[in-house]
Amino acid sequence: MLPATFPDATTSSEAEMFRLIRDAPGSDEFVCFHSLGIARHRRKDYAEADFVVLAPAGLFCIEVKGGEVHRHDGLWQIGWPGKSYVSAEGPFKQAQGARWALIDYLSERLGRNMRRHAMVGWGVAFPDIQFDRRDPEWDLEVVFDQRDKSRSFVAYIERLARYFQSRVAETGRAVAPILKPSDRAEIVEAL
Residue 39 — pLDDT band, cuts 50, 70, 90? confident
Nearest Cα residue to 144 out of 134, 158, 130: 130
Cβ atoms within 10 A of the Cβ of 167, count? 16
- pLDDT digits 0-9 by tens, 2-34: 999 999 999 999 999 999 999 999 999 999 999
pLDDT recorded at residue 115: 86
Average pLDDT over residues 76-93: 93
- pLDDT digits 0-9 by tens, 139-155: 999 999 999 999 999 99
Name the maximum alpha-carbon separation found in the chain: 48
Can you give the pTM of this predicted structure?
Answer: 0.93
Angle at alpha carbon of residue 188, lines to 184 and 191, rounded to 5°: 140
| Alpha-carbon dihedral 86, 89, 93, 99, rounded to 10 degrees | -100
DSSP annotation of 161 reads: H
Please count the CA atoms within 13 angstroms of the CA of 185 that sit on its side-chain side.
3
Average pLDDT over residues 167-173: 91
- pLDDT digits 0-9 by tens, 171-186: 998 888 899 999 999 9
